[in-house]
Amino acid sequence: MAKLSKGWKITVIIASVIVGLLLLLLITYLILVLSGKSRFHKNDRDISASNIKGLEVDDGVVTYKGNNYILDPDVVSVLFIGIDKEKIGDDFGIGSNGQADTLFVMTLNTKTKAIRIIPIPREAMVDVDIFSPKGKYTGARNEQICLSYAYGKDPEKSAENTLKSASRLFLNINISNYVTMDLRGISAITDIIGGISLTAIEDIPELGCKTGDTLNLDGKKARIYLQSRTEDAEGSSKRLERQKQFMTAFASKAGNKISEDFGLLKTYYDKMKPYTSTDLSFSQITYLASTGIVRNLGGQFDYQTINGEKKVGEKWVEFYPDSDSLVTAILNTFYKQK
C-alpha cells in the first residue's frame, strides 16, 4: 500500500478536524433544540370552566358548544410585555415600577408551524396580585391588567405577576414564558434590522403623516409611531392595531435575515439584552427560531381577537372581554379538536 505524502497527511488531518467541528456544532445545536423543547411543557394545564355557559372541563377534555377539545402538546406559548419604562432595570419601588403598555400572547405549533397571537387590551379587567411597598402580599384586586407589572421589585417579579394575571384572564391556561422589553428596545430592535417600511394606518401628527402615507421608520420614528395615543376611549385600541402592524413587519424582515444567516439569532439576542428581560433560555429561543423562522414570517401570523365591552370607570377605561370571544380565542390557540 502506497504511503501518503506529508502534504496529504496534513490535508486529511485538517479535513478530519473540520468534519469533527461540524459534527460538534450539529450535536450542540440538536442538544439546544431538544432541551429547549422540553422546557416549554413543564406546567401545562387545562383551562378552568369558571362560570361560562356551555363550557365544561372533564378529565383533560374541554367541551364547548357541542365540540370536544384537548390541549395541543405541540403548542408552546410566550407572553410579550412592552413596558412604559425607559430602563428595564430601574427600580422605583413596588407599586410604582411601570405598566405593561403592550401585551401579546404568541403561540407556535411546532408541528404545523402555525403562529397565533392574542393581543390583550391593556385595560382588560382581571384579578391582579397586590404587594405592599415592603413586598408583602396583601391580596388580589380587580384592576386593569397593565397595572400588574407595577407590583414587583425587579423585572422578573414584575413579569411573573403580569404572567399570572394574563393566565387568570385566559381561564388559568398555562402561558409558559415571558419576554419583557423597555421603551428603548423599540428603537433598538428597529435599528438592529436596518429600519422598517410600512403604511400609516392613522394620522400621527408627531410624525407629520396622514393615513395611507408610506413611512420609513428608523428607531426614533418607530418609537413615536408605536407610542402615540389619543386620549379618547379608542386611543389604546388604535395604538394596538399599529403595534400589530409593526410586529408583523418586523417579524418578516428579521425572519428573512435570520433565514439567510442563522448566526444572526445570537447577534440579535446579545444586542437586545440591555433592553429586555426573559425567562427563556437561549436553548428555548434556538428551538423556537429553528422551528418557526421562515421567510416573510409576519405573513404567517394569525391574530385571534378578543372582543368585549369598554366602560369608563371611576378612574380609567375598563375592558370586559366577551366570554364567547375569549373562549374561542383560547381554544383556537392552545387546543385542537378531538
What is the tens place of the pLDDT at every residue in 39-61?
A: 676 778 899 977 888 899 998 99
Same domain for 112 and 80: yes
Place of cell 485538517: 14
CB 317 within 8 A of CB 229: no
Mean pLDDT of 77-84: 95
The whole domain housing 236 covers: 182-303
What does DSSP assign to residue 123?
T
Mean pLDDT of 146-150: 96
Mean pLDDT of 267-284: 92
When pLDDT is cut at 50, 70 and 90, the band that residue 3 belongs to is low
Is the confidence at residue 33, as pLDDT, over 70?
no
User: How high is the pLDDT of residue 36?
Assistant: 54
Mean pLDDT of 124-129: 96
Same domain for 217 and 148: no
Average pLDDT, the chain: 87
Mean pLDDT of 156-173: 97
Same domain for 252 and 315: no
Mean pLDDT of 281-304: 86
The answer as to whether 82 is a domain residue is yes
The whole-angstrom separation of Cα 147 and Cα 103 is 12
The answer as to whether 129 is a domain residue is yes
What dihedral do alpha carbons 144, 150, 152, 156 form, nearest 10°? 80
Same domain for 210 and 251: yes
The answer as to whether 5 is a domain residue is no
244: CATH = 3.40.630.190
Mean pLDDT of 147-168: 96
Query: Beta strand pairing status for 115-119 and 100-109?
Result: antiparallel
Is the confidence at residue 233, as pLDDT, over 80?
no
The whole-angstrom separation of Cα 104 and Cα 162 is 12
Same domain for 153 and 48: yes
Same domain for 172 and 49: yes
Taking Cα atoms as reference points, which of 257, 76, 94, 263 lies closest to residue 178? 76
The answer as to whether 20 is a domain residue is no
Is the confidence at residue 8, as pLDDT, over 60?
no
104: CATH = 3.30.420
Is the confidence at residue 127, as pLDDT, over 60?
yes
Same domain for 58 and 99: yes
> Where does residue 329 rank: exposed (0-12), middle (13-18), buried (19+ CB within 10 A)?
buried
User: How high is the pLDDT of residue 316?
Assistant: 83
Same domain for 166 and 109: yes
The CA–CA distances, whole Å, from 132 to 21, 153, 156, 261, 334 equal 54, 11, 17, 48, 34
Q: What DSSP string describes 176-243?
A: -EEEEE-HHHHHHHHHHTT-EEEE-SS-BGGGTB-TT-EEEE-HHHHHHHHH---SSTTHHHHHHHHH
End-to-end CA, the chain: 66
Which region among 153-162, 227-236, 253-262, 295-304 has the lowest average model confidence (pLDDT)?
A: 227-236
Is the confidence at residue 26, as pLDDT, over 50?
no
Same domain for 278 and 157: no
The answer as to whether 37 is a domain residue is no
When pLDDT is cut at 50, 70 and 90, the band that residue 312 belongs to is confident
Same domain for 172 and 221: no
Same domain for 195 and 120: no
Range 203-209 contact pairs with CB under 8 angstroms and sequence separation of 24 or more: 204/228
Which region among 39-53, 96-110, 234-248 has the lowest average model confidence (pLDDT)?
A: 39-53
User: How high is the pLDDT of residue 204?
Assistant: 92
User: How high is the pLDDT of residue 24?
Assistant: 43
The answer as to whether 8 is a domain residue is no
Which region among 31-40, 92-101, 196-205, 328-337 has the lowest average model confidence (pLDDT)?
A: 31-40
When pLDDT is cut at 50, 70 and 90, the band that residue 294 belongs to is confident
**Beta-carbon-side half-sphere exposure of residue 46 (alpha carbons within 13 Å):** 17
The whole-angstrom separation of Cα 155 and Cα 157 is 6
- The SS3 of residue 284 is helix
**Domains held by the chain: number:** 2
Mean pLDDT of 102-129: 94
Taking Cα atoms as reference points, which of 286, 266, 270, 259 lies closest to residue 40? 286
Same domain for 64 and 145: yes
